[in-house]
Amino acid sequence: MVFSSAVFLFAFFPLYILVVSLVRNVKVCNIILMVMSLIFYAWGEPLYILLMLFSMLVNYLVALPAESCGNVNSVKRHTLLALDVIFNLTMLGVFKYAGFLVSSVNSIFNAQISVPEIPLPVGISFFTFQTMSYVIDAYRGSCKVQKDPIKFMLYVSFFPQLIAGPIIKYHDIEQQLSKRSTSVGKISDGIRRFIVGLSKKMLLANVFGEIVDNIYALDGSDLNIVLAWAAAIGYCMQIYFDFSGYSDMAIGLGKMAGFTFMENFNYPYTARSIRDFWKRWHISLTTWFREYVYFPLGGNRKGELRTGINRMIVFLLTGLWHGAMWTFVLWGIFHGVFQLLETYAIHPEKWKYKPLSHLYAMAVVAVGFTIFRAESVPQAFRLICDMLIGFNFTNIGLAQVRTLFTTYNALIMFAAVIAATPIVANLASRFAEKYNAHTVVTCAKYAASLVLMAICMMTLASSTYNPFIYFRF
């Protein structure tokens, strides 16, 4: 079940609103939300819900002895924590990376090992990282052990963020599982945030997605510099509005129930460097790797060489986290290299001409997402070559170029550029402050949300193209 489906919007969503509006007892609400979350996951993954429940059970039981394991350096504490990390990484490795590893061995050593075809459980990277972070925090003493199985199951399975994030660390919502409140204001704000995310997904991401898919479906000989850049820019827009739209919907749904989830995006396409970009893009994943990988490796406390190695490890793992393909690994290394270049050499954030630093950052991001979107490393290099020297215009290529330059596409691109920047939010805030018109601005936001919701409903009725990119990660 996806948030932009008719089943969710016309059945599950109204029922959820009813529950969070009427059920005031937190314990009862937790049980209902946990059951609803399991139904939500089972709707699309009827078999793999058993895998998620097994993961919950193991991590719940392993964390229970944390408070009685003695001091931080005790052997028992380290042993249990190590076993839990091994369990989680093994589960992730089997279901997500087994086929990739066997295929790589076959390619490198010319072996004939049978490649296992294991369907990827939706959201496995997200709920595995959440359960693992909980156990790590419990053994670090960063949070109390959760002995109530209902609260723990709700933390892991809560449907808004279950299958595509943001990644919620247990210590961030530990108190909210026991004590939280909701109100008409929170519910209405949550609904409005949900509509904003739904609009990003349906009215922008899906449009760019169809354009990008059409270009990638072309034969390589028909591509040219215009189409290559159109695909790169289009995919940048698609993945941003797809993923940030999902995050907006998740945050809005959480707010309706009284939960406060961390922001996952902060206008990443306004960044002036790759370092700045990663402070704004998929913030929950960035903070997870910083807290549970970068700092334990030593962070920047052991000299420049070790710092550089630690950063490369983090970005290599970031790429691999996104998928079992060499393109993702290459994408992670690509961003890691630019992180090091910016730290020790080029320093774009200090450039006097700010538009140049922004242009540099966006060019690097576009090339990186070309690698990310490609179905193979050779295709990625071919597309990057076309972005640089693709001046071979075939009849089919020219016909595709003409289809790009329509009034509708121009309007969508204009709307996307506006939506990817804080322009509207800043103007609304300044207007409200200058003219003391906070009520007017709030009413305008809700009116705009109703209009957007109506447009989304009409789009849903007339379109069959509705993928979520991050469901496969």
pLDDT band with cut points at 50, 70 and 90 for residue 73: low
The confidence band for 221, taking pLDDT boundaries of 50, 70 and 90, is confident
Extract the tokens encoding 81: 């924590």
Is 96 a residue whose pLDDT tops 70? yes
pLDDT category of residue 462 using cuts at 50, 70 and 90:
confident
Tokens of 135: 């156990």
Q: Is the pLDDT of residue 28 over 90?
A: yes
Compare 205 and 435 and report the one with higher pLDDT: 205
d(CA 326, CA 334): 12
Write the pLDDT tens digit of every residue in 115-168: 888 888 888 888 999 999 999 999 888 888 999 999 999 999 999 988 877 899
Q: Which two structure tokens, joined as six digits, stand for 382?
A: 């071919």
Q: Which of 120, 119, 51 is nearest to 88 (CA)?
A: 51
pLDDT band at residue 466 under the 50/70/90 scheme: low
- Given a cut of 90, whether residue 32 has pLDDT beyond it is yes
Which is catalytic among the residues 78, 171, 322, 438?
Answer: 322
Residue pair 80/65 in contact (Cβ under 8 Å)? The answer is: yes
Tell me the C-alpha distance between 372 and 374, whole Å.
6
Give the separation between CA 167 and CA 357, rounded to whole angstroms: 30
Cβ-based neighbours of 195, under 8 Å, separated by 6 or more: 252, 449, 452, 453, 456
Q: Which residue, among 453, 473, 400, has the nearest Cα to 201 in the 3D structure?
A: 453
For the cut 80, the answer to whether the pLDDT of residue 67 exceeds it is no
CA neighbours closer than 13 Å in the CB half-sphere of residue 302: 13
Check: CB of residue 283 under 8 Å from CB of residue 265.
yes
In this predicted structure, what is the pLDDT of residue 458? 87
At residue 457, does pLDDT exceed 80?
yes
- The CA-to-CA distance between both ends of the chain, in Å, stands at 16
Tell me the residue type at 365: V
Q: What integer pLDDT is reported at residue 471 of this predicted model? A: 58
Query: What is the arithmetic mean of pLDDT over 451-463?
Result: 86
Residue 290: pLDDT above 90?
A: yes
Give SS3 for 119.
coil
In this prediction, residues 400-423 reach a mean pLDDT of 90
CB contact set of 266 (below 8 Å; sequence gap of 6+): 279, 280, 283
Token pair 């996104």 is at which residue?
A: 322
- Count Cα atoms within 13 angstroms, Cβ side, for 14: 5
Q: Could you report the per-residue pLDDT of 428-444, keeping only the tens digit for each?
A: 889 888 888 888 888 99
Distances from the Cα of 379 to the Cα of 219, 371, 383, 384, 393, angstroms: 11, 8, 6, 9, 18
pLDDT band at 351 (very low <50, low <70, confident <90, very high): confident
> How much is the pTM?
0.92
Domain spans of the chain, in order of start? 29-179, 186-272+351-472
Nearest to 223 by CA among 372, 387, 363, 366: 387
322 is catalytic: yes
Q: What is the mean pLDDT of residues 1-30?
A: 90
107-122 pLDDT, tens per residue? 888 888 888 888 888 8
Q: Check whether 205 has a pLDDT greater than 90.
A: yes
| Between 205 and 71, residue with greater pLDDT | 205
Six-digit token pair at 450? 């109703």
